[in-house]
Amino acid sequence: MTTLLVTWKEPGQIGIDAAWKARQGGADLITTIEKGLAACELDPSLLAIGLGSLPNADGELELDASIMDGRDMNCGAVCSVRGIVPVISVARKVMEETPHVMLAGDQARRFAISKGFRPQNLMTAECIAEYDKWVRGEAEKYYIHTAQESHDTVTMLGLETGPDGKPHLIAASSTSGLAWKLPGRVGDSPIVGAGIFADDEIGAAGATGLGEELWKAVASYRAVRNMEAGMSAQEACQETIDHMVRRQAHAADLPCVVMALRKDGDFGAATTKGEFPYWICRDGNIEYREQPAKG
């Protein structure tokens, strides 16, 4: 049995379709998830992920990504990478081909080029036009998803249960971060524990939304620990979000979301604000859900 969970309506659909296609083609779980996220990064119509996404305050795209393998807690991440896609694949290479967890900025780019990634201009006419609007003061201060819009960070969780009943989990995330961010700003998405976490003994969790707040909460790690303490995936996410709202003054300024997948297949999500749309795929049965913020 394979279960995949992916954030947001539009990147989610692109991500889940690509991931399931890879799975049907025989991909292992980590490659399934990598392919799902890479498809989102390579789609120029998604304004917050990879190619053609919204840049920082200098008009430059800086991409973040991370991946974690619940089998041995191995993980890899990159942050503030310019001119390379898909950065999720670079994060996987950091995990599998270096002794490190994270590479940053120009050195991450240099590493990617040494591994055969081709540097390229990631700005499209559409994202340049959006940037020019922001420079003229005609765009939102920070661009982040609302339920009506259709693009954002893509975070994906995967669970496979073999014939022996043993669960295996992967978590991964890819983003260009908040639009118009200060150059060098890094959010939760490439930070293991904040943006993603996976442990085969418990489950996996992933976050999306206002990265500073999700990072302060170490949101994904908290949700996984909540499941370890016996909570359902839904309770684990809701407790994380409730704690954020109670303790962090800015947790509901913009949506902050945590989603979780327990090793037995139980799943859930919670948000500080609005409605969180996500996709779930169970052995090819793909379902769309919307999780409203608690009353």
Q: Which residues bind ligand ASP (CB under 6 A)?
A: 48, 144-145, 152-153, 175, 177-178, 187-189, 208-209, 211
195, 155 Cβ separation under 8 angstroms: yes
Quote the CA–CA distance of 144 and 152 in Å, as a whole number.
7
Catalytic residue among 153, 155, 208, 271: 153
Among residues 275, 154, 169, the alpha carbon closest in space to that of 223 is found at 169
Nearer to ligand ASP, 175 or 240 (CB): 175
Q: How far apart are CB 185 and ligand ASP at their closest, in Å? A: 8
Of the two residues 56 and 189, which places its CB atom closer to ligand ASP in the complex?
A: 189
Residues 6+ apart with CB under 8 A from 158: 2, 3, 4, 5, 19, 29, 32, 33, 169, 170, 171, 204, 261
Min. distance of Cβ 91 from ligand ASP in angstroms? 14
In the complex, least distance from residue 30 CB atom to ligand ASP, rounded to whole angstroms? 22
Min dist. Cβ of residue 113 to ligand ASP (A):
24
- Report d(CA 191, CA 124) in Å as an integer: 27
Closer to ligand ASP by CB, 46 or 112: give it. 46
> 46 φ, ψ to 5°?
-90, 110
Select 54 or 103, whichever has its Cβ closest to ligand ASP: 54
- 153 counts as catalytic: yes
CA angle 283, 287, 293 (to 5 degrees): 130
Q: Point out the residues that are catalytic.
A: 153
